[in-house]
Amino acid sequence: MTGEQCSLFESGHRACGGCAAALAARTILDAAGRDTIVVSATGCMEVFSTPYPETAWNVPWIHSLFENNSAVASGISAALKKQGRKEKVIAIGGDGASFDIGMLCLSGAFERGHDFVYICYDNEAYMNTGIQRSGATPYDASTTTSPAGKCSTGNPRPKKDLPAILAAHGAPYVATATVAYLPDLKKKIRKALDTEGPCYVQVHAPCCTGWGFESEKTIAIARLAVETGLFVSYEMENGQVTRVKKVVRKPVEEYLKEQRRFRHLFRPQRNDAEIAKIQAIADRNAEKFAIDIVLKK
Amino acid sequence: MMEIMEGSHAVANAVRMCRPQVIAAYPITPQTHIVEALAEMVADCRLDAEYITVESEFSALSACLGASAAGSRVYSATTSQGLALMFEVCFNTAGLRLPVVMSIVNRALGAPLSIWNDQQDSIALRDSGWLQFYAEDNQEATDLHYVAYRVAEDRRVLLPAFVCFDGYILSHTYEPVEMLTEEQVDRYLPKYRPVHRLDSADPISIGLFASPDYYTEFRYQIDQAVKGSMQVIREAGRQFGEMFGRDYASPVEEYRMDDADCAIVAMGSICGTAKDAIDEMRKEGRKAGLLRIRTFRPFPAEEVRKALSGVSSVAVLDKNISLGSKGAVALEVRDALYGSGVPVLDYIIALGGRDVAKKDIKSVVDMAAAGKGDLFYGLREEVLR
Amino acid sequence: MALGLGCSSRPGTSRANRTGSWRTFRPVFLHDKCTKCGLCVSVCPEGCVVADSEGIPEPDYDYCKGCGLCAEECPAGAIEMQKEEK
């Protein structure tokens, strides 16, 4: 049984060692099964999985452009409906494709209510082009277009709340998930596929190359994001938060100090003021989603 | 049966009979009457299609691309700014070899903003790999949709196609049009049987990226397909003629060209005016003729060369301008006539809805006879001062 | 021969690309410590760790890039990363 897990996303793809996006792709297909049509946006996952004549996909797959995967998925979904076919449609894009350039198509597809699942693998910057800032880049992260410097502490803006935006479109199911908890990710993909209408799953996918950590730490970093409250794993059904992963929270610096993109907050000297601002973001998340497990004394 | 119909409605009716399964469209003047008519047909169950009211033209063509890749016959219509917004998807659709058919209700491109007719919009996409047909009147605008689907979906072609007709001049004009019946269309246009489609029973990947080792060969294959479509266009056009009496076998139409001295070359509705002007000039003893280009992509260089090699001057009416160079049609014609010694003069004319009368056509012929050309025709004096 | 229509390809052809050559560290699976929990199978981004009929996992070194995720995540400490000898 376990041997079949890898069969729909084939070995031989060219992702970096320890790539969370590759792990996500494999896990998503494992949950979705063979009767799934995948539409990939331009990005790391598309490029590392399909250099002609090789494809890692064992399900029907198409790539059109960077910003139109949800519009292409709309068309596929309509065609399947007209042909009386039962395959599921998944559109996958990175955070650049989803939060930024593909936002128009994404909003349109969700508003129209097509039956498909949109999955964003969120590695919090444009990794394929060399780690540029996106609307999903967290506060203070140093990227190649938001570099930390003498008068900059990195990305000046907090992350866009895309799940809330899509929930506001009336999406019946919106979830965040992470490669730190693969069974949970699978469950959410399955639930999204089984829910009629446009559903959204945002998968936190740490990038060892872009964030600056060793390849074996991908899952550990993903776990720390959840444990510090900087990434909240939750489900929303019809606009209401229905399930949240609770944690015994750790200070944010345990997450930050492991990554090169936040190194400027610790070296050459520690920037307590900025670390406190990031801690405040985690605290707000914790309050908003009630993620704290209160330990009995 | 001959009916007096608005051009847009005649085209919408033709599209209905082509039985697209998925239509995705976004409103833009002067295309709206087509997509409104189709929406009505779907609402009244006269057309069994999924109608996607997309949020932009970019998504209109993207949705068509997806539906086509899933194996459905698809349709969209647009113009001008809408087509410009589709630019990226246009190249992609051709590269993925998806036989999308789209009506282009030709209109000028801004700036300055203009909702009126010229052919700049579709001409700007000439390098995209789409077949391009230009209609002279509403009968042809209607018929070319049947032909376009048949050619685009042919296994030897598998390319998307524009059916271009002039905004307002044709789209909003009532003309008598002979509509085919559903049975006739069904006999002419076979059901769409995709060669490759997204299907879990045969899970291929479509749209891989190509390294420098392969990219050129993919472009070569697309170019071969566009060029090779000419033979299929001839066959499909000839058969249309055999079945319904209107022959579209030739990518060009020659009008009084047999003994013509000066040949006008043009595309679209301006050719109607040109024909009238030629008739009058002929009565005055002036040997003018017209070579009308119906198929701009693939470009019928062979037919153009054959038709024009004997004339003493060629006057090309270009309703577009490749800024900093010439009109697109003139460039093609000059290329086709290279080495023949026939002078090809270009006249940028009828941009942004400026009316062209018979006297203008005559005036162009006069200028061509005098060797004066390669200019914007009829400019307001003030810009020349 | 014509290239795949629309830049298409048959499924799963990436197997032709043996990424094992990328490896600088090699995971060595210590079967005596293995609890057969299957975590190494599920966390591998290559999908190249496969359990045999008895549930004992083994990596396919033709594809293993040596990222070390399996060793890092193994709760039993049953996977060791060793420098690849070339």
Domain ranges within chain A, ordered by starting residue? 2-289
Three-class SS state of B262:
strand
Optimal mutation site among A1, A4, A11, interface C, most CBs of chain C within 10 A: A11
pLDDT tens by residue, chain B, 385 residues: 899 999 999 999 999 999 999 999 999 999 999 999 999 999 999 999 999 999 999 999 999 999 999 999 999 999 999 999 999 999 999 999 999 999 999 999 999 999 999 999 999 999 999 999 999 999 999 999 999 999 999 999 999 999 999 999 999 999 999 999 999 999 999 999 999 999 999 999 999 999 999 999 999 999 999 999 999 999 999 999 999 999 999 999 999 999 999 999 999 999 999 999 999 999 999 999 999 999 999 999 999 999 999 999 999 999 999 999 999 999 999 999 999 999 999 999 999 999 999 999 999 999 999 999 999 999 999 999 9
Nearest chain C CA: its distance from B202 CA (Å):
8
Angle at A192 between CA B194 and CA A83, to 5 degrees: 25
Element (H, E) at A80: helix A69-83
Report the distance separating Cα A282 and Cα C24, nearest Å.
37
Neighbours of chain C (3+ CB pairs under 8 A): A, B
Confidence grade of residue C25 (pLDDT, cut at 50, 70, 90): very high
Looking at the predicted structure, is the pLDDT value of residue A2 above 80?
A: no
Question: pLDDT tens digits, residue range A151-193?
Answer: 999 999 999 999 999 999 999 999 999 999 999 999 999 999 9
Cα–Cα–Cα angle for B314, B315, B318, rounded to 5 degrees:
135
Q: Delineate the domains of chain B, giving CATH numbers in brackets.
A: 2-244 (3.40.50.970), 252-384 (3.40.50.920)
Query: Residue C42: which domain range?
Result: 30-83
Please name which of B311, B381, B320 lies closest in space to residue B342, comparing C-alpha atoms. B311
- What's the 3-state SS for B278-313? HHHHHHCCCCEEEEEECEEECCCHHHHHHHHCCCCE
pLDDT at residue B83 in the model: 98
Fold of A2-289: Rossmann fold (3.40.50)
- The confidence score (pLDDT) of residue C27 equals 98
Model confidence at A295: pLDDT above 90 = no
Site of tokens 């056009």: B237
Residues of A at the B interface, defined by Cβ within 8 angstroms: 34-37, 39, 46-47, 50-55, 57-65, 67-68, 71-83, 87, 104-105, 107-109, 111-112
CATH number at residue C52: 3.30.70.20
pLDDT of residue A7: 84
- Alpha-carbon distance of B2 to B139, in angstroms, equals 10
Q: Which residues of B touch C17 (CB under 8 A)?
A: none
Q: What is the pLDDT of residue C1?
A: 79
Q: Note whether C13 contacts A: Cβ–Cβ < 8 A.
A: yes
Look at chain C and report how many structural domains it folds into: 1
What pLDDT digit, counting tens, does each position of C49-74 carry? 999 999 999 999 999 999 999 999 99
Chain A residue numbers touching B54 (CB-CB < 8 A): 71, 74, 108, 112
Q: How far is B178 from chain A (nearest CA, A)?
A: 30
Residues of A within 8 A of B68 (CB-CB) are 75, 79
User: Looking at beta carbons, which residues of chain B come within 8 Å of A52?
Assistant: 208-211, 214
Tokens of B190: 């076979």
Chain C closest CA to B210's CA: distance in Å? 8
Give the gyration radius of chain C's Cα atoms.
16
Burial class (CB in 10 A: 0-12, 13-18, 19+), A63: buried
CA distance C20 to chain A (A): 9
Q: Which residue of B has its CA nearest to A77?
A: B67
- What's the CA gap between B48 and B23, in Å, rounded? 10
Q: Which of C5, C10, C11 sits opposite B97 (nearest CB)?
A: C5
> In chain A, what percentage of residues exceed pLDDT 70?
98
d(CA C31, CA C48): 17
A254-277 pLDDT, tens digit per residue, is 999 999 999 999 999 999 999 999
CA distance B311 to B36: 46
Candidate from A52, A82, A108 with C-beta closest to B72: A82
Q: Quick: pLDDT tens for A84-123.
A: 999 999 999 999 999 999 999 999 999 999 999 999 999 9
Q: Nearest-CA neighbor of A58 among A80, A77, A34? A: A34
Query: For residue C10, is it within any domain?
Result: no
Please determine, for residue A297, whether its predicted confidence score (pLDDT) is greater than 90.
no
Q: Among candidates B160, B153, B99, which has minimal Cα distance to B125?
A: B160
H or E element, residue A279? helix A272-289
The beta strands (E) that lie in chain A are given as: 36-40, 61-63, 88-94, 117-122, 148-149, 152-153, 173-178, 199-204, 234-237, 240-244
Window A:185-214, CB contacts with C under 8 Å: 214
Contact: B95, C6; criterion CB under 8 Å: yes
Option in B96, B205, B210 nearest C11 (CB): B205
CB distance C46–A22 less than 8 Å? yes
Mark yes or no for CB contact C7/B196 under 8 Å.
no
H-assigned helices in B212-345:
215-244, 270-283, 301-308, 328-336
The answer for residues whose C-beta is within 8 angstroms of residue A196's C-beta and 6 or more apart is A115, A172
Size of interface B-C (CB pairs under 8 A): 39
Which of B21, B69, B72 minimises the CB distance to A62?
A: B69
